[in-house]
């Protein structure tokens, strides 16, 4: 857990709050969600949002988003059966890349408690050649509403 992290995010900082449940297998030997699983929550929320918002199966596009950079700052422990919301925002929408700002919130009654913040940079590449290409139009249209001013 970081003690010198920036102030905790709020749900209002994110245009979309995507539901992601914890799973029994997410807990490790120490009784909490293993650190690498937070990245899985980020990845699940981003890709599920893209599929739902774009209306296309992103796995069938001629270009794919590969993770070029990722980070996570842990704020509090999670454990099964916590109910989560992953906050999604876009800090930068480039020609061939998208920089996501992410946060994981634990649902506690009527409030959302910040558990982690993160960042993903997706670079779009041709599915065959793996060379950079422009962000596909359906993806660009889906994330435009997430772009922070």
pLDDT tens for the 149 residues of the chain, in order: 545 556 888 999 999 999 999 999 999 998 899 999 999 999 999 999 999 999 999 999 999 999 999 999 999 999 999 999 999 999 999 999 999 999 999 999 999 999 999 999 999 999 999 999 999 999 999 999 999 97
Q: Give the pLDDT score at 12.
A: 95
Q: Give the pLDDT score at 81.
A: 95
In the beta sheet, which residues pair with residue 67?
Answer: 122
Neighbours of 71 (CB within 10 A): 12
Rg (C-alpha) for the chain, rounded Å, is 16
Q: Give the pLDDT score at 149.
A: 76
Burial class (CB in 10 A: 0-12, 13-18, 19+), 109: exposed
Q: Give the pLDDT score at 7.
A: 80
Round to whole Å and give the CA distance between 85 and 45: 9
Answer whether the bond into residue 81 is a cis peptide, omega within 30°: yes
In the beta sheet, which residues pair with residue 132?
Answer: 125
Q: Give the pLDDT score at 33.
A: 93
In the beta sheet, which residues pair with residue 125?
Answer: 64, 132
Q: Give the pLDDT score at 3.
A: 53
Q: How do the residues of the chain divide into helix, strand and coil, expressed in percent and rounded to 5?
A: 25, 40, 35
List C-alpha distances in Å: 52 to 34, 55, 56, 130. 27, 5, 8, 25
Q: Give the pLDDT score at 131.
A: 97
Which of 48, 59, 55, 58 is CA-nearest to residue 21?
A: 48
């Amino acid at each position: 857990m970081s003690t010198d992290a920036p102030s905790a995010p709020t749900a209002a900082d994110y245009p979309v709050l995507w539901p992601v449940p914890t799973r029994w297998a997410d807990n490790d030997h120490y009784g909490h969600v293993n650190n690498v699983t937070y990245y899985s929550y980020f990845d699940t929320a981003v890709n599920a949002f893209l599929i739902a918002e774009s209306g296309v199966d992103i796995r069938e596009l001629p270009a794919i988003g590969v993770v070029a950079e990722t980070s996570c700052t842990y704020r509090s422990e999670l454990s099964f059966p916590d109910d989560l919301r992953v906050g999604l925002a876009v800090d930068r929408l480039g020609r061939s890349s998208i920089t996501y700002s992410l946060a994981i919130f634990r649902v506690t009654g009527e409030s959302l408690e910040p558990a982690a913040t993160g960042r993903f940079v997706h670079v779009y590449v041709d599915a065959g050649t793996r060379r950079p290409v422009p962000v596909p139009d359906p993806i660009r249209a889906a994330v435009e509403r997430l772009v922070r001013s």
